[in-house]
């Protein structure tokens, strides 16, 4: 289990794209909530939203919203990097299973030390090793069984 860098971080675009979409949607919801709360709070305490409140919103709240917009790409990048830690091993397992089903040689999976699902990949490695031994064993057992079941001429005469 070595620690190597990934060649790319968008490993499974549908899964990681859905996570990015979720981050952006939550960010938009947060911005909308902040703006709505500002106006609701103003209306509750002052009875109406007036032009001065709009100026206050533009000078005090809007800069905070813009600052959060500047932070959004960093949050998305972090989400991609984090998701690569669990999408990468799952992708590797899917590829290994596909190769085994096609009859290719099943090699043990190597998962990076900081990735998630290390225990599952280890279990898959154990399963493949056991299955490989199981597939090799019947060939040897069948040969010995078939040799024992073939009657010898001396047994038939007795």
Rounded to an integer, what distance in angstroms lies between the CA atom of residue 25 and that of residue 54?
25
Instruction: Give the three-class secondary structure for 111.
Output: coil
Look at residue 1 in the predicted model and tell me its pLDDT.
46
> pLDDT per residue over 29-55, tens digit each?
988 898 888 888 888 787 777 788 788
How much is the pTM? 0.60
Q: Which long-range contacts does 108-115 make (Cβ < 8 Å, 24+ apart)?
A: 110/1, 110/2, 111/1, 112/1, 112/2, 112/3, 112/4, 112/85, 112/88, 113/1, 113/2, 113/3, 114/3, 114/85, 115/85, 115/86, 115/88, 115/89
Q: Which residues contact 20 (CB under 8 A, 6 or more apart)?
A: 76, 79, 80
Q: Phi and psi for 140 in degrees, rounded to 5?
A: -75, -40
> Tokens 């990934």 — which residue?
6
Best-predicted range by mean pLDDT among 2-6, 91-95, 151-155?
A: 91-95
Residue 144: the pLDDT is 58
Among 39-53, 55-69, 143-157, name the most confident range.
55-69
Identify the pLDDT of residue 29.
92
Helices (H), the chain: 13-46, 51-56, 62-101, 118-149, 153-157
82 in Cβ contact with 20 (< 8 Å): no
Confidence of residue 138 (pLDDT cuts 50, 70, 90): low
Looking at the chain, the whole-number percentage of residues with pLDDT higher than 70 is 82
């Amino acid at each position: 289990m070595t620690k190597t860098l990934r060649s790319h971080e968008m490993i499974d675009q549908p899964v990681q794209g859905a996570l990015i979409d979720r981050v952006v949607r939550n960010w938009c919801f947060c911005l909308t909530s902040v703006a709505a709360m500002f106006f609701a709070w103003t209306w509750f305490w002052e009875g109406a939203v007036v032009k001065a409140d709009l100026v206050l919103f533009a000078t005090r709240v809007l800069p905070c919203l813009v600052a959060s917009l500047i932070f959004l790409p960093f949050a998305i990048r972090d989400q991609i990097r984090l998701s690569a830690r669990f999408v990468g091993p799952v992708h590797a397992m899917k590829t290994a299973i596909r190769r085994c089903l096609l009859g290719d040689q099943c090699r043990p999976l190597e998962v990076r030390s900081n990735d998630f699902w290390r225990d599952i990949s280890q279990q898959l490695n154990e399963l493949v090793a056991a299955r490989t031994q199981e597939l090799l064993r019947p060939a040897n057992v069948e040969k010995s069984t078939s040799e024992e079941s073939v009657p010898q001429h001396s047994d038939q005469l007795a």
